[in-house]
Structure 1
Amino acid sequence: MKNKILAALLTGTLIGASMMPYHAFAADYDNSQTTEKKYASGTEFEQDDIVYILYKTDEPRLRVKEWKADKREAVVPETVEGIIVDSIGNSAFIKKENLIRVELPSTIREINDHAFEDCSNLRTVNFPACLEKLDSASFNGCTALRDVKLNRCLTSIGLCAFQSCSKVNSLTIPGYVETLSSHVCQMMTGLYTLRLCNGVKKVVGEAALNDYDQKRIIIPPSVEELEPYSLGYRFHSGNYDGITNTKIFGAKNTEAERYAHANKIPFVEFDFKYGDMDNDGKVTSVDASMVLQEYVSRSSGKHEKGFTEAQELKADINDDFVIDSADASAIMAYYVYLSSGGDYTPEEYFFCS
């Protein structure tokens, strides 16, 4: 009976995987579509309740200056008057309390200071593939924001960028962000998983302060410096106190292990081979099948667990702390992606947009 269940689940996984979208880095917008009209720097345009300002003229570019509406949804276009929109300006959407959803075009490269600060009901925003910078306090106070999936080519995240985003359960910092700034994740009280991708080198003090319920912090060997109180602490009544339920996952003899031991945080050795359950150096259908087998075993009513903590982290692709068919499907989808010529690493594919 168990084999029949496993076969049925794996068949469904194969079908689902074949329907998964192909992820590719968006190329820069085609400049051939840019208008031949000439405008002076500082020229403003207004379209569909959004005010734009021309801030660059040699290669004309527009920045969103202000959203004048009070609606539930905002859609920023790729071009206005034939000119590319590539930036969200300072405080452009600040304190828009009715805003629930934002759709940004593939041309956006920067989201500037305080752009969406205190949009207290904002739940959904996409992070385009070409986005390079998230400036200070860009999403500070977005207390309803969920499912933040940053793009893999992001290079900079400013101070307090996601401060008080208390509904975000999982956050992955892409590898091109070499330094995680102070207070980026402060008061993200629902942040159970904080993952640093390979390439991150430094975490500044108080980067994730007061994340009370954090369960796991994943630190790759590329991290060379973790400043005091950078991870795993809360600040209360003038004192720094360690978070009691968190664990650090990292490689042996690295800064991650040093920091964990120095700060009396439980350390779990991890090999960073996401999805590679049989440790053969590849992600294949065999790995998906192993995850399904674990799921079936746990669903049998006997609560049997065959995976170690490190294996659970490798298998829990959607960061929900449950090993199930959704994780197996994601692993299978990555196998199909690789088979079609894809070159994203497992970290990039599973955890970045």
Structure 2
Amino acid sequence: MKKARIAAATLSLLIAGKACPVSLITADITAASAVEELTENSAEEPEYYEIAVQYSVKYAEYKDHAVAMGLSEEYVDMEEPFDIDIPDEIEGIPVTEILPEAFSLSNVQNVKLGKNIKTIGDYAFNGCSYITEIKLPADLERLGSSVFCECRGLEKVTFNDKLVSIGRKAFMNCRALTSAELPDSLVKIDENAFSGCQKLSKVRFGANIASIGAGAFNSINMTYMEIPSSVSELNGCPLLYTDYDELPDMAIRIDNSDCVLGGDRSEWKEFIIICDEGSAPAIFAEEKGIRHCTYEQYKNGKYDRRVETEYGDVFSNNTMSWCMVEGGYEVFDITMGDAEELVIPDEIDGVPVVAVSNNLSSRENNTKVKKIVIGKNVKTIWSAAFFEYPALEEVVCGEKLETIMSLAFYGCEKLQKVIFNEKLKTIEHMAFFNCTSLTDINCPGSVTSLKQGTFYLCSPDFIILPESVKYVEQSAINVSIDYESSFSNPSVIVVLNPECDFEPSSISGSRGIWILGYSGSTAEIYAKENGLLFRVLEKPKESNDMSETEDMTDETDTDRCAGDTNCDGTVDLSDVVLILQALANSDKYWLEGTDPSHLTTQGLYNGDVCYYGSGITAKDALWIQNYLLGDTESLN
């Protein structure tokens, strides 16, 4: 009996692999039971007929193609290395795709891929450390994100002649890879695609490469790279050298005179840009203060050599050192002794302080720092700037802060509160990794994505992801156990963008998790696919008497209706939403915000239910939510 159609969203639940959560296995059984209940009388034509298993691999068979879903049951927890062979066809049907996470973190060793495979999904072979060689299929067109990320034994990749794009971090940290002969068909290499490939010393670009993402070749063993004339734009420096003990002269040759360069001086300052006089790259280099020369000058050694010190003059006082960078000073090597508060100054001798960098060498001198206040002119907190500060409890971001780099507050286990500003755009990988005391996380409405490990092993009561967050990477949020009963006090993750894109396993943890989002949103789909509790948020209602409530005086306290944040006469989920929106996007939803349904003075009093008089926080939203669920008896 043919089995009726199952939606593609259901199929994604059936992915099998070593990292497959229990919820996915449960979904597999549920979906299989549902299929058995359908009959030949179904009005819709069946999309696929059955799931087939051949040797170590499980497949889903459609009418005209099949996809590799993952490992068969007996291989999921196989401890010894084993081989997989994905054929050109299954029962006469071509195998055209490998699903995301299909073989992630498994002990697969030798891999043979059928010629008909056109797409390899995100994280398909992520962390498969036994793989030493890969020959890409003849018809492959797209490599997804992190496909071979952390395959640290991978020494050789044979690229096919139809490959069009290589996804983000596709070969990241493949530390044994020595060369990459890229085909002429390749058009795009996404950011960090070969980042961390420390032995990669030879890269050949094809004739049609048009886009190379920022940091595509970070931390590799190359001191010279040629960017062909087909590339019209570089959004950031594709190379990054990290061994600062011995800095050679490194060069990037750009053959397209009209190539538009992006990024700031810090990305390019270690390099010589080789380009034509008067070209767009030359103009960029001059504006940013970056060394540049023509090809003939470079060939004959007639170019500015790198000076002995990277920063030029370095200054210091009793608490910190600083040096001149683009736009002002960068401070580092901070020493606070017994002081409990560390304040990054707005300026030094009239020069604005625009960045804070690594303080690892002076970390032992900051063991008592409980609070860090970032100066108003600081735009960047560099990697590992406040790595493992043992006593740190609170961070206040300056009003111009735009970027928090990777590992910035890694391992600050007592950090409880971070006050973000409304200009923060980027929070990089593992910025707050293992901050196990961090309980309230309110991302500002200017952040567009959460990177891998951003809030990994935190223990938040609330995380608010504003409308601006469009992408959440794998393992961005992992909630740690912090209570005797892991589900007695769940973490509530509020997703205000109904179309936010979630990578597999982007939200996980050992503590209870609730996801709050809009009906039909991607957050609801993610919650259901991963066995997480989902609560529907309603759109906030507009107040019928906005002008009157805005003009209220101290009498609002006596007229207070606890919990009725939007002043519509009832207490419901729309009151919860308004609090969250006001906290996440103050320009639109706080007092005098641009949105008609913004918080009013009366609503400010009404919504303050958790420790009345302490002001509106995410805990007030949680208190009202629990009241509506019957877990809290009163709002007064």
Category of TM-score, reference length = shorter chain:
0.5 to 0.7
Q: Which residue of 2 aligns with 1:83?
A: 351
Q: Which residue of 1 aligns with 2:402?
A: 132
Aligned-residue offset at 1:250: 1.0
Unaligned 5+ residue runs, structure 1?
Answer: 1-39, 236-242, 297-305, 320-329
Q: Which residue of 2 aligns with 1:224?
A: 500
Q: Which residue of 2 aligns with 1:263?
A: 530
1:60-83 deviation digits (Å, cap 9, x = unpaired): x11112113313222222222332
Residue 427 of structure 2: which of 157, 163, 175 is its match? 157
Q: Which residue of 2 aligns with 1:234?
A: 509
Contact 2:421 2:444 (C-alpha < 8 Å) held by counterparts: yes
Aligned-residue offset at 1:186: 1.0
SS in 1 for 2:561: helix
SS in 1 for 2:325: strand
Correspondence 1:146 to 2:416: yes
Residue type matched to 1:120 in 2?
P
Alpha-carbon distance in structure 2 between the residues aligned to 1:280 and 1:131: 38
Q: Which residue of 1 aligns with 2:342?
A: 74
Aligned-residue offset at 1:224: 3.1
SS in 2 for 1:148: strand
Residue type matched to 2:494 in 1?
I
Residue 195 of structure 1: which of 433, 447, 464 is its match? 464
Alpha-carbon distance in structure 1 between the residues aligned to 2:403 and 2:465: 17
**Taking structure 1 as reference, are residues 311 and 69 closer, same or farther at Cα in structure 2, changes over 3 Å only?**
closer
**Taking structure 1 as reference, are residues 126 and 343 closer, same or farther at Cα in structure 2, changes over 3 Å only?**
farther
SS in 1 for 2:478: coil
With a CA cutoff of 8 Å and minimum separation of 6, indicate the structure with the bigger relative contact order.
1
Alpha-carbon distance in structure 2 between the residues aligned to 1:182 and 1:269: 26
Alpha-carbon distance in structure 2 between the residues aligned to 1:202 and 1:314: 23
Contact 1:45 1:51 (C-alpha < 8 Å) held by counterparts: yes
Identity %: 19
Contact 2:469 2:497 (C-alpha < 8 Å) held by counterparts: no
Q: Of the two, which has the highest radius of gyration?
A: 2
Residue 380 of structure 2: which of 69, 91, 110 is its match? 110
Aligned-residue offset at 1:216: 1.0
Aligned-residue offset at 1:163: 1.6
Correspondence 1:206 to 2:475: yes
1:172-183 matches, cutoff 5 A: 172-183=442-453
Report which stretch shifted further, 93-102 or 131-140.
Answer: 93-102
Aligned-residue offset at 1:293: 1.5
Aligned pairs, number: 271
Residue type matched to 2:514 in 1?
K
Aligned-residue offset at 1:158: 1.0
Alpha-carbon distance in structure 2 between the residues aligned to 1:103 and 1:258: 39
1:292-317 deviation digits (Å, cap 9, x = unpaired): 32369xxxxxxxxx734554454579
Residue type matched to 1:259 in 2?
Y
SS in 2 for 1:209: strand
Correspondence 1:285 to 2:563: no
Alpha-carbon distance in structure 2 between the residues aligned to 1:147 and 1:114: 18
Alpha-carbon distance in structure 1 between the residues aligned to 2:416 and 2:596: 24
Q: Which residue of 1 aligns with 2:61?
A: none
Unaligned 5+ residue runs, structure 2?
Answer: 1-309, 482-488, 565-569, 605-615, 619-636
Alpha-carbon distance in structure 2 between the residues aligned to 1:344 and 1:174: 20
Alpha-carbon distance in structure 2 between the residues aligned to 1:193 and 1:334: 19
**Taking structure 1 as reference, are residues 182 and 101 closer, same or farther at Cα in structure 2, changes over 3 Å only?**
same
Aligned-residue offset at 1:281: 10
Contact 2:495 2:516 (C-alpha < 8 Å) held by counterparts: yes
**Taking structure 1 as reference, are residues 193 and 178 closer, same or farther at Cα in structure 2, changes over 3 Å only?**
same
Aligned-residue offset at 1:86: 0.6
1:88-107 matches, cutoff 5 A: 88-91=356-359, 94-95=363-364, 96-107=366-377
Alpha-carbon distance in structure 1 between the residues aligned to 2:445 and 2:378: 20
Alpha-carbon distance in structure 2 between the residues aligned to 1:281 and 1:133: 40
Contact 2:334 2:359 (C-alpha < 8 Å) held by counterparts: no
Report which stretch shifted further, 205-214 or 169-178.
Answer: 205-214
Residue type matched to 1:267 in 2?
F
Give the TM-score, by structure 1 length.
Answer: 0.66
1:175-210 deviation digits (Å, cap 9, x = unpaired): 322110011111112x01111011110100111113
Q: Which has a greater percent of strand?
A: 2
SS in 1 for 2:333: strand
Alpha-carbon distance in structure 1 between the residues aligned to 2:545 and 2:504: 35
Alpha-carbon distance in structure 1 between the residues aligned to 2:492 and 2:469: 17
Contact 2:538 2:577 (C-alpha < 8 Å) held by counterparts: no
Contact 1:162 1:185 (C-alpha < 8 Å) held by counterparts: yes
1:257-286 deviation digits (Å, cap 9, x = unpaired): 11122122222221454xxx6665969738
Aligned-residue offset at 1:127: 0.5
Residue type matched to 1:76 in 2?
I
SS in 2 for 1:67: coil
Aligned-residue offset at 1:346: 5.7
Alpha-carbon distance in structure 2 between the residues aligned to 1:170 and 1:284: 33
Contact 2:402 2:423 (C-alpha < 8 Å) held by counterparts: yes
Contact 2:463 2:492 (C-alpha < 8 Å) held by counterparts: yes
**Taking structure 1 as reference, are residues 135 and 284 closer, same or farther at Cα in structure 2, changes over 3 Å only?**
farther
Q: Which has a greater percent of helix?
A: 1
Give the TM-score, by structure 2 length.
Answer: 0.38
Contact 1:199 1:222 (C-alpha < 8 Å) held by counterparts: no
Aligned-residue offset at 1:221: 2.6
Correspondence 1:252 to 2:519: yes
**Taking structure 1 as reference, are residues 197 and 284 closer, same or farther at Cα in structure 2, changes over 3 Å only?**
farther
Contact 1:51 1:68 (C-alpha < 8 Å) held by counterparts: no
Aligned-residue offset at 1:116: 0.8
Report which stretch shifted further, 70-79 or 104-113.
Answer: 70-79
Alpha-carbon distance in structure 1 between the residues aligned to 2:349 and 2:445: 36
Contact 2:331 2:353 (C-alpha < 8 Å) held by counterparts: yes
